[in-house]
Structure 1
Amino acid sequence: MLLWRIGANVLPTKVNLQRRIQQADITCSLCKSDEETYVHLFFLCPFAKAFWTTVGWGFRFDSTSLTSNEDIISLIINPTHAPIPTDQHWTITLNMALIIDEIWKTRNHLLFHGGKVDVNKAMNNARIRFLEASKVYSPSSRPSVEQSVDVWSPPPQGWIKINDDGALSNSKSALAAVARNHLGIAISIWGKEHHLCSPSQAEAEAILWAVQIAIQERWSAVIFEGDAKLCFDPLSQPDLTPSWPISTSICNIHSLVSCFVSCEFRWVQRKCNVAAHEAARFALNSYCPFCFSYGNFPPSLEAACKGDYPSVSVV
């Protein structure tokens, strides 16, 4: 929509507004040193130049002939001197469009709310949005959504799969997470007590904890899997509204997704989530939190992991 407004010459830059309503100030909202035209705001302003340089894609516009809004749209749709293979040129267009959008958002925030310009923050916002959008349009980079209905299955190479579950007693609940790699090898098993709550709340808290663990471990591509359909449906389908008791947890999980390069949430049947289920029961009977590492699992959890995926030995 932003690109359409630029192409149609209806974006309210100060120079554009001057032509319509005769406003007095036409200086750039970001640098205050030149007229706020399309070309200046998005390419020649010191903030824009710093942004394009910092983003690290080799964009240089000093020698590019940009004189109008049509030139900008043509450049974005048909980028010249793209530094990547031809079949990936669409990522250049995507990245440039997001940078333009972030510059406009920064300009509006500064104009209407004040504060200071932060190139690093703007760059990080654009980077996160680029990663999110490129995942959608890059099927080859995403693991298949198909999975076995009978047994646990390993993630693709380069990914980590974390199965989670919650368990309850009369006085408390417990959370657990089991992380495995593309070979099906269990890397670590975590568990801890949690206050007494409803089953759905325990399941949602287990997923949130699993996400926090993955962030702490600095894993960039993670599949989160569990048997709580009530929780996983609103995570895998953001248009669904979660039930009220778990809405806060689901919202917190959504807010952390940007920490990953790639992230998916999958609901599976209980028989595909045995190791996490047993770990949650184990945590329910433990007196303190635990994190068991590869090669040091208690016999019951070792057997559960092996039962989940018999093709691999866990120790």
Structure 2
Amino acid sequence: MRFSGTFCMHNEECVSHLFFLCPFSREIWHRWWEAWCQGCIHATSLIDFWESLGRPPAKTSFLQAAWLVGPIFILWNLWLERNHRIFCGSKLGSSQVWKLILNRLQEMIYAKCDMSTYIDPGDQAIVRNLNLGDSCKGCSLRKRPSHGKQRVSRDGRWSPPPMGILKINTDGSSRGNPGHAGIGAIGRSDDGGAVFLLSVYKGQHSNNLMEALAIKVVIERGCSLGWRKIICESDSQIVVDMLNNQKLEDVSWQLASLARQTLSLCRYLDSVSFHYIPREWNRVADCLAKWASENVGRWDINSRDELPFEYCEIIDQMLLEDKSM
């Protein structure tokens, strides 16, 4: 029996067509080569592709890693979307699959590579195109602070809370720090189902301020929905330590004010805890916060139904993957 192509529904599906020749797949590859400022490799088979790949066109170490593993992410996500279309009725467009590829590539690079390494000036455009960090005035990405208080394995995913407890993942984003900023969060119950989500643009602020504001807002939301027990996870160790230690003398008055408001709200709960987690465990909230900071203006999302369709598809895919872990 012969099957028509899953993406284009015109040609007979085979490995070469699925991964390289289908217009859907070719659009993904075009975005990849464009991100690297390279001409397209017009391969017709996996062997042709790997033989034509060549050396990384970048001097920065984490970009060299991305050059090698990125094509594997593309092939894997094309295969996943192909199967999701057949068995789950998925209908993601090429731009949405591309966003998923970038998100997953970013998770791997942040988890496995040293992001404080020197960035060659000629690689700045590639870093921006792959969303691997903000190009700053210096030639290195800002190193995540290390306090040594909380050692966390980076190999993992979101895990559900105990029954009767709401787990909320939060994130803040600032493009420029300070710059256009937003907050993102998602609350989930023990079955992994979304209780609420939010993605809100907040004007021009610093990243730490947005991290703290996100936590304060979600504690308010959890209380308003009637939850009495909350676990809050954030990838900002600075803000988590601030709330757990309650030492506010050495932080800015804005951060201290938000911390006091948050701690005051916690008095209405039976139990609440704040935990630091790596960014790759926090990817849903990370996406929601980034979208808020990117969509300057009246971006005020307070439920899944308010998200544009293409964003809904991405969030639904991430939630499904988290539940299956």
Using the size of structure 1 for normalisation, the TM-score is 0.48
Using the size of structure 2 for normalisation, the TM-score is 0.46
Rg: which structure is higher?
Answer: 1
